[in-house]
Structure 1
Amino acid sequence: MFLTREQRHLPPEELGRFRVLVGTTLILLLVSMVNVVAGPLFSSAKWLVPFGLVMSAGWVSLLVLMRGRLSPRLPSLLACSLFTASFSVLTFLVTTPGETSPHESAPAAIALLPALAVYLVGVRTGLLFTVIFCVNVGLLHPLYLSGFGTHHPLFSELHPWVNGLIDITVLLLTWTLSALFSSARDAANAAVRDSERKLASLLESTDDIVCSLDARGRIVTINSAARRRFRDVYGREPRPGDSLAERASPEIRENWHKTLAQVRQGQPFRREVAYPLANNETLHMDMSLNPILDEHGQGVGVTLFGRDIRERKRAEARLDELHRGLMEASRRAGMAEMATGVLHNVGNALNSVNVSASLVSEQLRGSRLRMLSRAVDLMKEHVNDLPAFLSGDARGRQLPEYLDSITQHLSQEHATMHEEMQRLIRNMEHIKAVVTLQQEHARSRGQVEPISVVELIDDALRLHATSFERLGIHIQREYDELPQVLLDRHKLLQILVNLLTNARHALLESGREAKRLSLRVRKGDDERLRIEVSDNGVGIAPEHMQRMFEHGFTTKKDGHGFGLHASALAAQEMEGRLSCDSAGPGQGATFIIELPLRSREITG
C-alpha cells in the first residue's frame, strides 16, 4: 500500500529499510494524532495539540517523500532528524525548570533512536544522531531543569545529572550493540553478496537459460541468456514478477501450473519444449525444473535450467538425412551385391548352356545321318533285285553290317545329345529360378512379414550354388526347428548374401584343399534368433576386429568397405546386431546375426 511495485522489487536489504521506515513513521504518526485528539483533555498541556499537528504533518510529508523513491537514504536521514528533534523538544515541553524529569523511568524509549539510526543511516551517521541526543538529554536538559543556574546552583541537584548520565550510557550502549550487530550483519551480507557475485558470474558465463521462480511461477532472478530468450519470445525485457507463461494459451498455462505444482512437491521435471519466436522460427529447448525446498522440506520455489538445442535439432535433422542417404546407398549396394551374385550364377549357368549347345552343334555336324542316306540311296538303286544284291553283290553283303554300325553310332549320338539337352534345360531352369528368386525378394523390400529363416538361408545359398560347386566348397547345415519369424526378408537376405560372398572370397584366398562353410540357426540363451556363418578361410587379424564394421574399412584389394557396414546397419534397423569372431589369420572367421525372435503366433 505505502510501497510502489518498483520498491517491492528492490534488494532485500533496501526493501527492509523501507519497510522499517514506513512502520516507524506510521507508529509515530499514530502517536502524534493521539496527541492531537487527547490534547483538549489536558488543560495543563495546551501544547499537545499544536505539537501533535506539527509532528503529524512532518510524518505525513515523510510518507509522501518516500513514495516512489528507490533509495531509502534521504527519507531515513529526515526520519532520524525528525525523530531526534521531536523527542528533544518533547523532553523540554514536558518538564519545567526546578521539577523532576518525567523521562527518568523511560530509558528504553530513548534507546530506540540509536538502534533505528544505525539500521537506517549506518554506524557513523547513527553515532552523530546518538551524540546529538546524548548532548540533549545529558547536558542541555539538566541545565534546563536548573534554569541554567538561575533556580539553584548547577550541581546542587544531582538527580537530573545522574538521570542524564544513565541516558547517555543507555544511548551509547545501544549504539555500540547496534554497531556491532550492524557490522556483523554487513560482513555476513558482504559474504552473501560475494557468493552472489560469484554465482551470478558463473550463471552469466553460460549460454544456458537459468532463472529462479517463486511458488507461483513468477521470475525472481534471471541470467542474461534467459533474458535474451525472453525477449525473443515476448519481445520485451523480463522483470521480476513476470510469468513465463503469460502469453501462452489457457491449456498451456494450465499444464505449466500443474507442472510447477508437481515440482514444488519434490518431483524434478525435464522435457524438450518448443516456443514460437517473433521471427517465425521455433525455439527448441531442453528444459529441466527442480524444486527449491525450505528447512522443512516444503517447496517454496523452482529453479529452471534450459538449453537451446536448435543446433542439435538441426544436426539431428542433417544426421537423419545422412542416415537416410546412407541406408538408401546401403540398399542399393545390397541390391548391387545381390545382382552381382545373380549375374555370377547366371553367367556360370550360361557358360554351361553355351558348352552344351556347342556339344550338340558338334554332334550334329559330325552326325552319321549322311552315311545312312548313302545306304538308302544304294538300296534304292537295287530296289528291283534287292535280294540278289544283298546276297550276291559284295557291297550288298556288307550293307546289313554297315546299317548296324550306323544304328549304333546314331544311338550314341542320340544319347549324348539327349544328355546335353537335359543339362541345358537344367541350366535354363536354374537361370529362371535365380531371376525369379531375385524378383520375389525385391518385391518384399521394406516389409516385415512371417518368414522361414531356414528357407531364406537356402535361397541365399542358391544364389551362390554354382560358384560354391565350382570352387569345391563343402556346405554344412545345422538348423534348429524354429517357427516363422517376423522380419524384413530383403534386409536379412542382403546380410546373408554379403556374408556368403565374403566367406567365398576368404575361402578362395586361403588356398585350402578342404574348403568348408558352416551355417547354424538356433535360439540363443536370451531368446533371440542366432544365425552363424563360419568358414575356415583366411581369418581376421586381431587389430582388424574392432574395425570390421566401419564404413570404408576393407582388407580386400578391390573392396569398397561398404558391405559389412551396410549389413550392420540393416541388422540394427531390425533391432538386432551383427558381430564377428576369429582366432586370427588362417583360423577362419564366424559372423553372427542376432535378431529378436518374434513369431507370428506371439505377435498375433
Structure 2
Amino acid sequence: MFLSEPLRRSSAEERVRCRMLVGASLLLLAVDLLFLLYVPWTVSPWAFGLIGVGCLAGFSSSLWLLRRSTSSRGPAVVLCSLLTASIVSSGFFARDVSVGLHPACMLIPVLAIYLLGAWDSLPFVGMASLGVGLLLPLWHGARGGEWMRCLFAAVFMVGTWGMGWLMLASRGQMSTELERALRTLRESEGKLTSLLENTEDVVCSLDAHGRLIAANLALRDMYQELIGEEPMPGDLLFPEHAPETLRQRWQECTRQVLAGKRVRFEASPSRLKRARVLDISVNPVLDGVGQVVGMTVFGRDITDRKEAEARLGEMHRSLLDVSRQAGMAEMATGVLHNVGNALNSVNVSVNLLFERLSQSRVEGVGKVAELLAEHGADLGAFLTADGRGRQLPAYLRVLGAQLNAERVVLLEEVRTLQTSVEHIKSVVSMQQAHARFSGVVERLEVTALLDDALRLHAESLEQLGIQVRREYTPGVLVRVDRHKLLQILLNLLSNARHALLESGRPDKHLVIRVERMVAERLRIAVADNGVGISPEDAPRLFTQGFTTKKDGHGFGLHISALAAAEMDAFLSCTSEGRGQGATFTIDLPIAGEESRA
C-alpha cells in the first residue's frame, strides 16, 4: 500500500529494499512520536521539539515519496540524511556526551549500507562517526574514558559499515554465481525444451499418481484430438470423461510401470483425425533409492513404416489393377446372380404361357363362328330344331368360363414376368449408377448405399437362410467416393456370407449397424455370428495374400483397407475367437476427404 505502481512491478531485490525502507520509516516514526512525548522533560525542549517535528515530517516524506517514485533511492537518501542529522544534532543539544553514544547510532550504517549500497552509504557513516568520535567530545569537553567511549563508538560504526560491505560483496558474488548457474540452467532447459517441442514424437512426463508434469506440442495436439481439451499440468493424463477403453488400457500400463517395468506397445487410436500407428514406450523414473517417483512417455509415429512393411514385395500399380478387377468381378457376380435368378423366373413364366396358350380352347370360338355363319339364313330354326344348335348356348357358357380362367392364369403369369423384368432392370440400373460415379467424391446417404449392397446379395442371403437386421441412424449424409465405399461393403458382406455358410449354424444372423461416434465421424458395422477369427490370425487379417478360405485369393480385405485409407477412413475387425462371430467396422469422416483437404 505504500509503494507506487512502478515499484510494485520492479525486481524482487528492489521490492525487498522498499519493504525495508517502509519498515524503517514506520519504526522511526513511532520512536519519533515517543521522543516528542519526552521532549517537555528534556534540557532543551524547543531544540529537541524542533528536531522531533523535523524528523516527523522527514520520515513521513520518505513514505510519501515511495508512493510517487520509480526508485527507492530518493526516499532512502531522505531517510538516511534525516537519521544522521537528527542523531548527531541531538548530541550537540544534550548536556551529556553519552547521548551521542545511543544504540540508535548503529541504525545509520545498517540502514545506509542496505538501502544505498557500500559506497553511497559511506558519506553518511563518515559524518556520523566523525560527529560521534570527534565533534561531540570536543563540543562537550570530554576527557579520558568519555573520549575513548566516543572513539570506540565511531570505530564500531565504521566497523559495522565494513562488515556490511563484506556482506554485500559476498552476496553479490553469490548472486553472480547464482545468476550464472541459473543462466546455464535456463539455457540447458531452453535447449531441451526446443528439442522436445520441435520433435514430431509424443513426449510427456508424469508423477507417480499419473498427473501431467510437462508435455510437448505433439502430445498436446494429439491429446486435443483424443480428449477434446488442452492438457493442463497437474491433471490426470486420462481423466474420468476420457474414453473407457483408453483409461482401462492406461491404468493397466501404469500398474506395470509403477512396479518398475518398462512397457512398450503399439496403438492406433480411432478418435484421431488421421489414422496413425504409434510405438509408445512408458518408462519408470527412479529416485536415489530405486523407488518409482514418476514416469516418462515417448510415442513415435510408425505409420509410414507399417505401411512400407505391409506393401513390401508387391507392386502398387499391379495391386491397384487387381483390386479394380476384383471389385468389378464381385459386383458382376452379384449382378449376374440376381439377373440369373430373375431370368429363371422369366423362363418358367414364358414356358407356362406357351403351354397354356398351346392348350387354350380359344379355337372353339372360331368353330362356333363358322357354324353360325353356315346357318345364318335359318339361325332360329338351327338353334331350336337342330341338335347341335340346341347345345350351342351351353357350349358357349362352358367355353366362356374356361377362357376366363385361362385369362386369369395368363394375366398372373404376365404380371410375374413383368416383375422379373423390372427386377432385372433395377439391378442393371443400380450397377450402372454405381459405375458412373467411380472415383468421384459426392454427398450421399450411407443407408441407401447399404441397401443397394444388400440387394446385390439378397438372393444368396435368402437361399442360405441368413436373417439380416438393419440398425440404422437415419438421415446421415457423408462425402465419400461411392465406388470405393460400395467395394468395401460388398467385400464385407461377401466375407460375412462365407463365414455364416462355413459355420453351419441353423440361426444365421447378420447385423448392419450405422451410428455416429463423434460429431465428425460415422461408424458402419457389419456383424455376423459365423466362424469368427482366431487371435493368431487377427494381426494378419488385412495383410496382402492372407486368407483363411480354401478358395480365397487373400487380397479382398487388404484392398478394402487401402481403399478406406484413401477415403481418410479406418477399417478394423473385432472377434472373440473361433466360433464367436466377427464384427468389421468402417470409421468414416462425415465431412469427407475433399473438404478436409
Q: Which band: TM-score by shorter chain?
A: 0.3 to 0.5
User: What TM-score do the two structures reach when normalised by structure 2?
Assistant: 0.45
User: What TM-score do the two structures reach when normalised by structure 1?
Assistant: 0.45
Structure of higher CA gyration radius? 1
